[in-house]
Amino acid sequence: MYAPDRAQDLRWIQRAIDLAALCPPATGAYSVGAVIVGEDGTELASGYSRATGPRDHAEEVALAQLPKDDPRLAGATIYSTLEPCSQRSASRTPCAQRILAAGIPRVVIAWREPTLFVDDCVGYEQLVEAGVTVLELPELMAAAKAVNAHLGRLA
């Protein structure tokens, strides 16, 4: 499994924040960026919210760029500016479930999802309960929130 040092984690989360800044602002959705990094430290895929459709999440966009059975995912890390979602409308698979299905063993986030749209996001907990290593980098939370200024004050 890819086990970078803190400097590498911060660099990849910053890349995800830069991607989040590309999101078309939406009053009912966060602007999120995601980067999937292989065990060798190279970028495998990246995405941001609404990059390929108005309801697409960053992790969803990044994962869609790789084959579902890509063996590199078994040692990868996904970096996301926001905690992967744990619930969506009935026709959409939550991002935490997508990450689990892909077999990605490590997730790094900048901040946990506030209660603006979902009262109880438990993506973090679902991932940890399934054995995924989840790391939060609070020192980049303000930068991840700043990309979401279009939503007003965030908790």
The residues carrying an active-site annotation are 59
Q: What single string gives the DSSP state of each residue in the chain?
A: -----HHHHHHHHHHHHHHHTTSPPBTTB---EEEEE-TTS-EEEEEETTSSSTT--HHHHHHTTS-TT-GGGGG-EEEESSPPPS---TTS--HHHHHHHHT--EEEES----TTT-S---HHHHHHHTT-EEEE-GGGHHHHHHTTGGG----
